[in-house]
Every structure is written in C-alpha cells, then in structure tokens.
C-alpha cells in the first residue's frame, strides 16, 4: 500500500471514530487545517519534478476531496444523532391529564349565572341577551314608566349623548330585554336574561355597574300560581334548602300588576345570617304579572296572553349564598379575594 493510501486509511478511520462535532472538527484540522497532514504534503509539491508534481498534485487533491466528503457525511450523521437525542429528551406527553392545581378561578358572578342557568334550564327556560346601551323606549316607555318617573332622572341613570335624535342610556335594569324578546318572539315565551346593568350610585351596597337576572313567561293561561311555584322552586334549589320558608309581599313596579317582592326565611341571631332557619325575612327579588300596557307596547294582545316576570340582583344573591360581606369587592380584581371567593373550574360541576 502506498504512503498516500495508508494516510487515507488512517484519516478515514479517525473521521469515523469521531463521536461528536468538536471531535470531528479536531480531525478536520489535523487533516486539512493550515498545518494539517494533507496540507503539509501539498506544501512539498514545489520540490518535485514537473511530472511527479502533476501526478502527486492530482493524488493529493483527490485525497483532500475524499476526506472532505467523509467529514461532511460524518457531520450530517452526528447532527442528526444530536437532534434525535434532543427530541427524545424534550418529549412532551400530550396525553397527560391537565395541571392538578389551576391558577385561575371562576368569579362568583360567573358561577352564580352558571347555577341560575342550570336551575331555570331544568324548568324549560332559555337564555336571552340584549344590548347594554339602550333607548328611552326599551328602558322606560315600553315598560310603562310614566313621564317624570323618578327612575328617569339624570341622577339615577347614565345618559349618553343623543344619536340620530334618539336618547341613549346605559340600561338601568335587564327588564329592557323583556321588550326585545316580546318584539321578536311569538308566545309562548319562557326566558331568563342575565346581564350587566348600570345606575349612578356608589356606596357599601351599590356600585355603578352590577348584574341582574330577569325572567319572563308569557302564555295564554299563565297565572300568579305559576309565578309562585316557579320562584319558590328556584329559591329552594339555589340556596339548597328543601323546606326554605318563602313569602310574597305586595309591592309596586310600573311594568307588573299585581307586583310583589319575595322574601326567604332566615335567622340573624348573634349577628350571623343563616338562610332557611329562624323567624326573620330577607328580600330576594321583585316580581309580578306583566302589565297589560307592557304587552300592548310590545305587540302582544293582552286579551289573549298573560304572564309573569321577575328580576333579581346577582351580586346580592351571590353575597347571601357565599357569605361575601361587601359588594364593592366584586369589582376590585384583587387576586387574593378571587382566590378566596372564586371557584375551580370543576367545582360543583
Ligand atoms: N327591574 C326591576 C329592578 O331593576 C326588577 C324587577 C322587578 C324585574 C319586578 C321584574 C319584575 O321583571 O317583575 O329593580
């Protein structure tokens, strides 16, 4: 075997033996670097006769190309092996179950809406929604509020700049959506309407934005007995007390006749509120039979149809059920409060 063949054999073996990229680079420098074995041989070509130089020059160039090709092939192999190793190490098992302790919580208002929707869905109600920005007709006129009613006053209602000659305001109650539903849907109607409402008020028990849930049932023979049965069943399920005492007191709302307020039994003994026990009463919601004028204003014939409606404050019932003492904390976005009063995604599901 010639010297060049021996050198080739030796270099190919060292290339093949290199087991990572830095080792391979070292081999490349030893063979082809400035002071490398092949480079040094090339530098001796000047001392040879022209014929020998030509022959030796070709042989050395061939050797250089062969070793370069060997190094490139080995380099590809090593890079692929390194990538495979990384992929194996960084493998993620996408079939693993979700994180056992999620960081976020469900806000008590969202939780309350979920619960109300579940309870009323079981009674055949569907959910309706309407806009937060309303006109005078949907918020007041259609609901039988007379001109000059105190609720229409500037200091209770957030009025917005007029648009196209029309008054615009932030709805003061979700009863506005009763009007939209009756205008769009033919009876029988059975809807609940959870949503945001706005009033110009701020203290321990009032915030400028709060939530309500409105209910509306319209059919040919719906009467006060249906109203009572539906709301008693709702309160018992929501507060999870089977024998929850309830009472209906006469009241007044422009959009219902007769109107009532519903109370549930509770005890305040020792300053601690207990729902479902004792001799005290707690107001929960407003309700009544839809006023014939409201039906007429919404295009429904009051001689053929009648029904009931109810409305309640969601913060209020959430505070009672979950023992939350201050209304304003609902909207402060304090993560410690949310952690304490919030709910995990699977809780009570
Ligand atoms: N809209 C009333 C309020 O904001 C709540 C209410 C009371 C709604 C009686 C009703 C109802 O539908 O029948 O205070």
Contact 271, 257 (CB under 8 A): no
Question: Cβ(307) to ligand 1 under 6 A?
Answer: no
| 330 Cα to the center of ligand 1, angstroms | 22
| 142 Cα to the center of ligand 1, angstroms | 14
Q: φ and ψ at 31, to 5 degrees?
A: -90, -50
Tokens of 34: 């400035």
Question: Cβ(36) to ligand 1 under 6 A?
Answer: no
Question: Cβ(287) to ligand 1 under 6 A?
Answer: yes
pTM higher than 0.75 for the full model? no
Task: Tell me which residue has tokens 């302790």.
Answer: 101
Atom of ligand 1 minimally distant from the CA of 175? 1
Tokens of 209: 């934005």
Question: Cβ(309) to ligand 1 under 6 A?
Answer: yes
**What's residue 180's pLDDT?**
98
Contact 10, 63 (CB under 8 A): no
Q: How does DSSP classify residue 145?
A: P
| 174 Cα to the center of ligand 1, angstroms | 8
Using alpha carbons, list the distances in angstroms from residue 278 to 20, 237, 262. 81, 19, 17
Most informative mutation of 120, 138, 175 for ligand 1 (most atoms within 8 A of CB): 175
Q: Whose CA is nearest to atom 3 of ligand 1?
A: 173
Question: Cβ(140) to ligand 1 under 6 A?
Answer: no
Residues 6+ apart with CB under 8 A from 18: 24, 26, 27, 74, 78
| 175 Cα to the center of ligand 1, angstroms | 6
| 70 Cα to the center of ligand 1, angstroms | 86
Question: Cβ(139) to ligand 1 under 6 A?
Answer: no
Q: φ and ψ at 164, to 5 degrees?
A: 50, 45
Q: Whose CA is nearest to atom 7 of ligand 1?
A: 286
Q: Are strands 126-127 and 189-198 parallel, antiparallel or unpaired?
A: parallel
Atom of ligand 1 minimally distant from the CA of 308? 13
Atom of ligand 1 minimally distant from the CA of 255? 13
Sheet of strand 159-163: strand arrangement: 133-135, 166-170, 159-163
Atom of ligand 1 minimally distant from the CA of 251? 9
**What's residue 14's pLDDT?**
93
Q: What sign does the CA torsion over 207, 208, 209, 214 have?
A: positive
Burial of 114 (0-12, 13-18, 19+ CB in 10 A): middle
What number of CA atoms fall less than 13 Å from residue 172's CA on the CB side?
24
Atom of ligand 1 minimally distant from the CA of 174? 1
- DSSP SS3 for 285: strand
Using alpha carbons, list the distances in angstroms from residue 106 to 194, 332, 341. 17, 15, 9
Contact 287, 231 (CB under 8 A): yes
**What's residue 127's pLDDT?**
98
Q: Whose CA is nearest to atom 8 of ligand 1?
A: 311
Helix axes 224-239, 108-122, angle to 10 degrees: 130
Tens-digit pLDDT string for the chain (349 aa): 688 889 999 999 999 999 999 999 999 999 999 998 989 988 888 888 889 889 989 999 999 999 999 999 999 999 999 999 999 999 888 888 777 666 789 999 999 999 999 999 999 999 999 999 999 999 999 999 988 888 788 678 999 999 888 899 999 999 999 999 999 999 999 999 999 999 998 887 889 999 999 999 999 999 999 999 999 999 999 999 999 999 999 999 999 999 999 999 999 988 888 999 989 999 999 999 999 999 999 999 999 999 999 999 999 999 999 999 889 999 998 999 999 999 987 775 4
Atom of ligand 1 minimally distant from the CA of 216? 12
Task: Tell me which residue has tokens 């304003």.
Answer: 328
Atom of ligand 1 minimally distant from the CA of 172? 4
């Amino acid at each position: 075997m010639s010297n060049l063949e021996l050198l080739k054999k030796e270099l190919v073996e060292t290339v093949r033996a290199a087991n990572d990229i830095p080792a391979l680079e070292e081999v490349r420098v030893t063979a082809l670097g400035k002071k490398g074995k092949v480079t040094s041989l090339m530098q001796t070509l000047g001392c040879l006769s022209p014929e020998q130089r030509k022959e030796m020059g070709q042989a050395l160039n061939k050797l250089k190309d062969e070793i370069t090709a060997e190094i490139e092939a080995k380099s590809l192999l090593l890079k692929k092996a390194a990538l495979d190793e990384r992929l194996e190490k960084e493998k993620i098992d996408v079939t693993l179950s979700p994180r056992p302790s999620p960081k976020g919580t469900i806000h008590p208002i969202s939780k309350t809406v979920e619960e109300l929707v579940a309870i009323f869905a079981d009674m055949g109600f569907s959910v309706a929604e309407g806009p937060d920005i309303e006109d005078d007709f949907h918020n007041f006129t259609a609901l039988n509020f007379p001109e000059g009613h105190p609720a229409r006053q500037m200091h209770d209602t957030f009025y917005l700049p007029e648009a196209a000659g029309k008054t615009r305001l932030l709805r003061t109650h979700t009863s506005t959506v009763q009007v939209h539903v009756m205008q769009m849907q033919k009876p029988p109607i059975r809807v609940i309407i959870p949503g945001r409402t706005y009033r110009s008020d701020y203290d321990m028990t009032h915030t400028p934005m709060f939530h309500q849930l409105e209910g509306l049932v319209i059919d040919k023979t719906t009467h006060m007995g249906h109203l009572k049965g539906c709301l008693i069943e709702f309160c018992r399920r929501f507060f999870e007390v089977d024998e929850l005492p309830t009472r209906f007191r006469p009241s007044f709302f422009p959009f219902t006749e007769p109107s009532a307020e519903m109370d549930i039994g509770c005890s305040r003994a020792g300053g601690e509120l207990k729902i479902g026990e004792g001799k005290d009463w707690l107001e929960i919601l407003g309700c009544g039979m839809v006023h014939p004028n409201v039906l007429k204003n919404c295009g429904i014939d009051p001689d053929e149809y009648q029904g009931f409606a109810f409305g309640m404050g969601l913060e209020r019932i959430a505070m009672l059920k979950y023992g939350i003492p201050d209304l304003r904390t609902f909207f402060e976005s304090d993560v410690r409060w949310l952690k304490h009063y919030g709910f995990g995604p699977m809780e009570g599901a």
